[in-house]
Every structure is written in structure tokens, then in C-alpha cells.
Amino acid sequence: MPHPLGNPPSKIIAVHLNYPSRAAERGRVPSKPSYFLKPPSSLAGTQEAIIRPRGCELMGFEGEIALVIGSRARRVRPEDGWKHVRWVTAANDAGVYDLRYADRGSNLRSKGADGFTPIGPRLLDASALDPAALRLRTWVNDELVQDDTTDTLLFPFGELVADLSRLVTLEPGDVILTGTPAGASVVVPGDLVEVEVTARELTTGRLRSPIGTAHHDLEPWGAQPKADPAERESAYGSAYTPLELLAEDIAAGLVSVAVATLSAQLRKRGLPHMSVDGVHPATPASRMVGVAHTLRYLPLREDLFQKYGNGMNAQKRAIEELRPGHVLVMDARRDTSAGTLGDILALRALKRGAAGVVTDGGLRDSAAVAGLGLPVFHGGAHPSVLGRRHVPWDTGVPIACGGALVQPGDLLVGDDDGVVVVPPELAAELITDCREQERQERFITEQVAGGESVDGLYPLGPAWRDAYENWCKGETQ
């Protein structure tokens, strides 16, 4: 089906970052909007396949709200910007991250290919809409992956029109893609992406874009696709390094040493406040290592819960943002008098590949959660839902959990003694020193079991150093 605009626009302008949830994923909040152009030849309609070029693996989707200009705009004021918008519709700002390096900044080849800007299927009359009361949702294979509203945009729509019109004349039919919320990620051939914009009872309908693959190789006389860990991280929508990108020996090393040993070694490095206090495992003998993805709760305010606590709130978004190897870390202000996680969301976290969950708040359905096999560390069991004490507020930000400052990308290690936060840059040396400490403690334990005094032995003193070195030789034989 052709796109609903009829004649092609003179230009398509796309905004880089506009939703706070996406800015949190990217780890930066712009003070002013920035843009890039997409060629009119990239337009497509609903049901048209988005074709991934051969050799590319990082085919990204971004559900967006598209504005269609209705009257010429030149140097208009922000309060008049919306008057120049004629139509609103759904869009998918598709692209391949594998080619982003080739036109860094312009995105010409990565986002400008034929068919990479599907819009539609229906146009909504902008004069009948409140631009701050629109809802954008995206599904991949019938799974809701993006759900956000326009009431908290960094740059409202009228402001975008005014900003662009200071230097660029907007002509009737021009399209502005207004940014994507959290949840944009990677799709593969065979997937189906659907985007819908609604305003109460009005809807654009679902813009359906099946993902296909090219039947020919990309010609060799230009830049060829390439993907590195940084582009994969960007494509999958996370500002943090997932466990799958950590060296396997680091992951295995951290899980092989005791949390108590890690805590001692962190203290030796002047970091005595890295333990998440007051949490314990839902299942005894749990071992956990993963990369922090954060969720912050604020105290309940009834007038704000309707806006922030319902629908696809920050709690649910945090679950859907999880990638294999993530540990979801929740800041509930150590208030355990209401649940911050229950069995259904814990199951969803498990299905998303989470390595664990840590909350300094309450855990609902504790017996069911304990039986899932997902390491969960919590402040205490409680039957109440989060609306009793907490408002889920935001994700992907530095938080306090059990008195410890946790940044997205920190490493979390847990066992029966609790949970510690490990700065990634210290992980390798901590593993080495922890293993040495635990080896010394095995030697000391043997001596104490044989009746020796701890004086000069624990911690290991000079008088015992030669005996220890000889013992180590026997242990390695």
C-alpha cells in the first residue's frame, strides 16, 4: 500500500532525542534538539517490507509520531508552531547500524535507504488533537515494546516547528519525525513491526512493516557493513554494557569468589560502602553476577500515581528494557512495606534473560518467585502492591539501593551473604586478589582446625609466610 501523503515531501526531518525515556537509555539529555535529514525516497506505506541489506545484522526500528506540515512555516514562534501542522500519523524511523560509521552524523546510508521511513496508515487532523495528549505504541511480533506519551517530551511539537523554521523554510507536505521513546531495538527478517498513534478514541491504525532481506549482495564499490560492540550496544537500545560483552573469565571469576571476600577487597581500595544493605536472597544458595539496569521509585503521591503508575509505567518499562545478563536494581528507599516485584514481572525478567533482581523494597509472591530459578535479592516479603508506598518514576539513572550508589553498567555480585556493587574497571584485579585472599583463608582454616592459635596466623603474619608458601606448592601439585 502506498504511503498516505500522495506527492512526496520536499524533505523529511528527524529528531535525534526527544523522549526522556530514550534519553535515559542513551545516557544523555540534550539541552536543545538536533536533527538529521532522510530522503523522500525512503518513504513507504503500511504492509511494505523494510528490506535489510545483505551483510547487515543490526536492523533497527524506532516507532515515532510523524507531523505533516500544512502551511508554509518561516520564522514562526513556538506558540504558533502547532498551527502549521496539518496531519499526524505513525512512522517507523528504520535504519541499519552496520552502516552508521560510513556517514557519521548524517545517517544518509544507514537511515536513508528506500523504504526505511514507512508512515501511515491513516492521517489524523492535527486541529482536532492536543499535541501533548498523544500516545505512541510499538509492537514486535505482537509484543508491546514501546509505550509512551507526549506530555513529557523534551521538546514539544510546536517548539520543533519554530526551531526548524528559524533557518529552514518548512513547506506543505514536509514531514517531521519527532523522536522515539525507550524500547527501540533490533529486528530480523521474518519479524513484524507495528506502530500506532492514538488520541483517545482517534487512531492512525497500526502501521505494519514486515522485515525482509535483500536478494542481492551490496555492491562492493562503497562502504561495507560492519558491526562492533559499540554499535551493537547502541542498536539494542541500551546505554550500558551487557554481560554478553564482558569477557567470560570476568563473569566466571566474579561468581567464583565470595561476596564477603569482594567486600573486604573493596574496602582495602577505599570503597567501604559498596554493599547493598538489608537484602537477602529469595532462594537460599543463590549466586548472581550481572550488569546493573536501574529503576527508581519515589514516595507515593496520589495525584501523580495516575500519570506515572498506570499503563506501561517505569516499572514495566524497566522489565522490557532488560537484556541477557542484566540485573534489575530497584531503589525503593529501603521501604519494605509494599511490593516492588511480583511473580509475573519476575517471570518476565527471567524470560528477558535477566541475571537477577535486587530491590531494597518488598517482594510480593515470594514463594512463587523463589521457585522461578531467578536470583532475587530483596528487603523483605510483603503482600501489598507498589501503589501503597511507591510511584515508579524512571529507569537507567544512578540510584541508591540499600545505601549503595548504583550506576547503570556497574556489576552486581550476590550470594547468601548479600550483594555488592563492583566498578567494572576494578573487576579483573579484584578477582585476582580475592582468589589469593581465599587461598590464604583455606590455609588458615586448616591450621586453626589443627589447634593453632589465631595470633599471628589470622590475618596471615610473617611467622607463617614460609609455611604458607610450602602449602601453596602442595595445593598446586
Asked if 57 and 174 touch (Cβ cutoff 8 Å), the reply is no
Q: For the residues 116-139, what does the mean pLDDT come to?
A: 96
Exposure of 303 in the CB half-sphere (CA atoms within 13 A)? 0
- Ranking 19-23, 113-117, 124-128, 394-398 by mean pLDDT, the lowest is 394-398
Q: For the residues 408-421, what does the mean pLDDT come to?
A: 94
Q: Sorting pLDDT into bands at 50, 70 and 90, what band is 312?
A: confident
Total Cβ atoms within 10 A of residue 387: 15
Q: How far is Cα 318 from Cα 335, in angstroms, rounded to an integer? A: 19
For residue 314, is pLDDT > 80?
yes
Q: In the prediction, which pLDDT does 231 show? A: 76
Q: Which carries the bigger pLDDT value, residue 242 or residue 120?
A: 120
Q: Sorting pLDDT into bands at 50, 70 and 90, what band is 246?
A: low
Q: In the prediction, which pLDDT does 385 show? A: 85
Could you give the C-alpha distances from 476 to 33, 54, 165, 301, 440, in angstroms and in order?
61, 51, 73, 60, 14
Asked if 112 and 11 touch (Cβ cutoff 8 Å), the reply is no
Mean residue pLDDT of the chain comes to 91
The whole-model pTM stands at 0.58
The stretches of 322-385 forming alpha helices (DSSP H) are 343-351, 366-370
**Rounded to the nearest 5°, which phi and psi values hold at 207?**
-80, 110
Could you give the C-alpha distances from 79 to 133, 155, 383, 448, in angstroms and in order?
16, 13, 48, 79
For residue 247, is pLDDT > 80?
no
For residue 239, is pLDDT > 50?
no
**Rounded to the nearest 5°, which phi and psi values hold at 194?**
-130, 135
Looking up cell 525507550 gives: 182
Q: How far is Cα 344 from Cα 387, in angstroms, rounded to an integer? A: 16
Mode of pairing for the β-strands spanning 390-395 and 288-299: antiparallel
Q: In the prediction, which pLDDT does 320 show? A: 84
Residues with Cβ within 8 Å of 219's Cβ and at least 6 positions away in sequence, in order, are none
Termini Cα distance of the chain:
73
Burial 235-246 (b: 16+ CB within 10 A, else e): bbbbbbbbbbeb
The reply to whether omega before 229 is within 30° of 0 (cis) is: no
Q: How far is Cα 417 from Cα 376, in angstroms, rounded to an integer? A: 13
Q: Sorting pLDDT into bands at 50, 70 and 90, what band is 241?
A: very low
CA dihedral 246, 247, 250, 256 (to 10 degrees): 100
Q: In the prediction, which pLDDT does 242 show? A: 46
Q: How far is Cα 65 from Cα 253, in angstroms, rounded to an integer? A: 46
Residues with Cβ within 8 Å of 473's Cβ and at least 6 positions away in sequence, in order, are none
Q: How far is Cα 65 from Cα 68, in angstroms, rounded to an integer? A: 10
Q: For the residues 347-373, what does the mean pLDDT come to?
A: 95
Residue 281: strand, helix, or coil: strand
**Rounded to the nearest 5°, which phi and psi values hold at 319?**
-65, -45
- C-alpha triplet 209, 213, 217: angle, nearest 5°: 145
- C-alpha triplet 386, 383, 335: angle, nearest 5°: 50
Q: How far is Cα 262 from Cα 274, in angstroms, rounded to an integer? A: 10
Single-letter amino acid code for the residue at 251: A
Q: Which carries the bigger pLDDT value, residue 101 or residue 68?
A: 68
pLDDT tens digits for 140-188?
A: 999 899 999 999 899 999 999 999 999 999 999 999 999 999 999 998 8
Q: For the residues 46-71, what does the mean pLDDT come to?
A: 94
- Record the cell numbers describing residue 232, joined without a space: 551493537
- Ranking 3-12, 176-185, 260-269, 342-351 by mean pLDDT, the lowest is 3-12
Taking Cα atoms as reference points, which of 95, 91, 103 lies closest to residue 46? 91
Q: Sorting pLDDT into bands at 50, 70 and 90, what band is 1?
A: low
Q: In the prediction, which pLDDT does 106 show? A: 87
Return the percentage of the chain with pLDDT > 90, whole number: 71
Highest mean pLDDT among 102-111, 146-155, 318-327, 467-476: 146-155
Q: How far is Cα 29 from Cα 26, in angstroms, rounded to an integer? A: 8
Residues paired with 111 in a beta bridge? none
Looking up cell 514539544 gives: 156
Residue 90 per-residue DSSP state: E
Q: Which domains does the chain possess?
A: 12-235 (3.90.850.10), 243-422 (3.50.30.40), 428-476 (no CATH)
For residue 229, is pLDDT > 80?
no
Q: For the residues 52-56, what does the mean pLDDT come to?
A: 90
Q: For the residues 330-340, what does the mean pLDDT come to?
A: 95
Number of residues in the chain: 477
Return the percentage of the chain with pLDDT > 70, whole number: 97
Q: How far is Cα 360 from Cα 21, in angstroms, rounded to an integer? A: 23
